[in-house]
A and B are shown apart, each in its own frame.
Chain A
Amino acid sequence: MFLRLLFESFRRQKRRKSIAFLAIALGMSIATAMIAVAAGIGDKISQELRSTGANLVITPIEDTLDVNLGGVNLKPASSGAYVAESELPKLKGIFWGHNILGFVPSLTAPVTVTKNGKNTLVDLHSTQAANAELIGTYFAQPLHYGKQDFVTGARSVNPWWQVEGEWPHDYAEWPANQPPEVLVGKKVAAESGLSPGDEVEIAGKNLRVSGVLNTGGSEDQAIVAPLHIVQQLLGRPNAVDRVAVSALTKPEDAFGRRDPSKMTPAMRDRWYCSPYANSIAFQIREALPNVRVEQVRQVEQNQGKILTRISGLMLLLTLAALLASVLAVSAAMAATILERRQEVGLMKSMGASNTSVASLFLTEAGLLALAGGMAGFLGGAALARYIGSSIFGSSIEVHPVVLALILCAALVVTFAGSAGAVRKATQFDPAVVLRGDA
């Protein structure tokens, strides 16, 4: 009898049922979409913030002080220690290797750029004061670690570097047929009149300018060449004096700032397995001995601050949206049940108890909630994916756990919305309701 009532109620009241279903599905798709967006936005914005550049810097530990003045590092190339370039792919092998988005090694030497008639000479060991830097770096260097192949370099890690002309190739060897390509900084180009296609002479060797580099930073006053070319020019194979690392990190909190040497083993494990800048730095020091790893505080500290603000905002908006969809679903349920007073009156006059009326209505509500919640979840997931791909160019995936959450929420919300209305409907005197006086 109960099942028959239930079945007929769905079969005969298609309009009412579809209205309730629609309301639940809409409410739950808002909830799904907002939860997914709020959960995914941290990662997306943190990717955007990576355009502020590297957040960790590796330098050799027994290095002497930098003597950087007016954008030119005057520390001679011969002083100081080096990091071995061949060790760098190990960065991908640390515990949080997947969070290392890229790294840019560099080898720098002060140089003097002079003009000699039509030729531009770059002197590595001039007696005059240096007026520029020679920087060797990766542009888009393919590397592999274990079974992983990846490409890293300035083009991806420093997105604000703009090149007029062509980016140079990352040569593995000194090219045999034609002179290797280099970039000249904007200021150097302006002072020496160099433009793409011209040649410069560095330490007796000719190099071709492939483009003019504009960064708004110290590189404007530099000649930027492929790392292996600079290593050969300076006679320092495998040497790198600085590595800028761009890593996805978790904003630092009180726990992340603590000193790992003073932690209990369990806490230390938790600290080690969280992608804080400090714990990633710690793991890099484990992988590459004799290096100093510093967080670029301007980037790292502020990134956390901004991420917290944005996720906080999304969380509050999600709460407001959830509240609104709860109210919307409850109102819809209340409206559809209050309209069925006559039905309640009829059932009660034929001897149905309040409990059996309520259980019929609540079962109906439960079925609707499950169906609506499911449909809402699918709709919401599609919406979240669309928002992700249209704004960030990568979709926002919904965690399957959210489905369980949404189904529970749908049940709770529809029951809450129905309960009051059912109570009210059963309180009326059936005779009055059936007469049509209520």
Chain B
Amino acid sequence: MSRRQLFLRLLVKAAWVRKDRALTALLSVTVVATIATAALTVYSDLDNKLSHEFRSFGANVVVSKQGGALTRDELSRIDSTLAARHLIVPVAYAIANGPNGARVVVGGTDVKAFRDLNSSWSVRDTGHHGTQVLMGSRAAEAFSRQGEAVKVSFNARQATLQPEGIFSSGTDDDSRIYLDQNEFSALTGVEPNTALVRVEGRPQEIEAAINTLRSSLPGLEIKPVRQITLAQTAVVSKTRAVVLAASAVIVTLIMLCMMVTLTSSVLERRKDFAVMKALGASNKTVNLLFTAEAALLAVAGAAAGFILGSGIAFWIGRANFDAAIFPQPGLLLPVFAGSMALALLASTAPLRILQRIQPAGILRGE
């Protein structure tokens, strides 16, 4: 039997004969690798997933033009400048007179896109679908309690507006009536001078989008809706920090716990160690054997842990964000290196203690 064969035999037999010990050690490394992979995978995709939730806050940028309407060209420039996913809803406003002569602000817009943008508003159906008129709850209270048609006039022109829905927003919009842009221009002759824009993305991507808009459209006023961007930045960064801190705590503690287990299982093998030394093995050979065992364990544990952890992260994404969190190949290396370091450290540290003791002493049972 050559040296190499003997080495391999010792390696395999050590695991095979004491299966429970090998399995406990493998389980330990796998658990660490799994939880580290899962936590870090979730962390790396978290700002994306959370930022996505902020889209339902509605417009986060308002583009407006002083003295004049936004031209078709300007609108398409906004559209082409924005790299991120976005929704642009141009709106025009005018003051019209309601049924009893009361003044009411009327807005012209693409009603469907406008509803999509303000998805958090509650809209009560009036049963008249497709009329493209939305009425604010306070306006409805004044003019159309049952959702009936309302006559409004602008200068000499008149229009009858049949609301398809009555919305409640909790803002000034509740005093307004929104209708289709074409009908609005026919009534008032006013074209949109404001565009509500929802830019999707992480806080820094939204910031960048605003800056590019400002530089490519210098004639327009571009204002971020600050309370939304501010809240998004705060919530995303703090949640990330919590998840990172929690992951760090979990991984460190589990790692310590596992290291304790691994170290104790190596210390239990001091008889193996002493027999080998008594038979004439050098310190180097024994170290190599224990290190090789640890490395084997680490590779197997890390591989299993990476697959399991990615699976858990994928499932967390599905269960919590309705969108999968995909495995991060970039984590493969850190997870392998970490597991390797853990296993090597845990198994070689006790060897150093053992080397100080005489093999004869260990065999006598001291």
> Interface of A with B (CB < 8 Å)?
15-16, 19, 22-23, 26-27, 29-30, 33-34, 37, 41, 44-45, 48-49, 51-53, 56-57, 64-70, 73-74, 158-160, 215-217, 294-302, 305-306, 309-310, 312-314, 316-317, 320-321, 324-325, 327-329, 331-332, 334-336, 338-339, 383, 387, 390-392, 424
> Interface of B with A (CB < 8 Å)?
20-21, 24, 27-28, 31, 34-35, 38-39, 42, 46, 49-50, 53-54, 56-58, 93-95, 102-105, 118, 120-122, 138-139, 142, 168-172, 174-175, 223-228, 230-231, 234-235, 238-239, 241-243, 245-247, 249-250, 253-254, 256-258, 260-261, 263-265, 267-268, 312, 316, 319-321
20 contacts between A and B (CB under 8 A): A26-B260, A30-B249, A51-B227, A51-B234, A52-B228, A69-B93, A69-B94, A70-B93, A215-B226, A294-B168, A296-B171, A298-B57, A298-B118, A302-B53, A306-B53, A317-B42, A317-B246, A317-B316, A328-B257, A338-B21
Q: Are A294 and B226 in contact (CB under 8 A)?
A: no
CB-CB nearest in chain B for A23: B257
Task: Choose among B50, B104, B235 the residue with the greatest number of A CB atoms under 10 Å from its CB.
Answer: B235
Q: Are A51 and B257 in contact (CB under 8 A)?
A: no
**15 more A-B contacts (CB under 8 A) besides A65-B103, A215-B226?**
A19-B264, A26-B257, A26-B260, A37-B242, A65-B105, A65-B138, A297-B170, A302-B53, A302-B120, A306-B235, A316-B320, A317-B243, A325-B257, A328-B31, A391-B241
* A-B pairs with lowest CB-CB distance, top 8: A296-B170, A216-B226, A301-B120, A66-B175, A65-B175, A294-B170, A160-B226, A312-B320
| Pick from B21, B42, B58, B258: contact of A328, CB under 8 Å | B258
Least Cβ distance of B77 to chain A in Å?
Answer: 22
Q: Are A316 and B316 in contact (CB under 8 A)?
A: yes
Contact A331 to B258, CB < 8 A, known contacts A294-B170, A297-B168, A317-B246: yes
CB-CB nearest in chain A for B319: A316
Using Cβ atoms and an 8 Å threshold, which residues of chain A touch B267? 15
Contact A321 to B21, CB < 8 A, known contacts A27-B257, A66-B172, A295-B170: no
Using Cβ atoms and an 8 Å threshold, which residues of chain B touch A298? 57-58, 118, 120-121, 169-171
Using Cβ atoms and an 8 Å threshold, which residues of chain A touch B28? 328, 331
Interface of A is mostly: helix
Least Cβ distance of B270 to chain A in Å?
Answer: 11
Using Cβ atoms and an 8 Å threshold, which residues of chain A touch B226? 160, 215-217
Using Cβ atoms and an 8 Å threshold, which residues of chain A touch B138? 65-66
Using Cβ atoms and an 8 Å threshold, which residues of chain A touch B94? 69
In the assembly, what is the distance between CA of A332 and CA of B207, in Å? 50
CB-CB nearest in chain B for A312: B320
Contact A331 to B261, CB < 8 A, known contacts A67-B95, A387-B246, A391-B245: yes
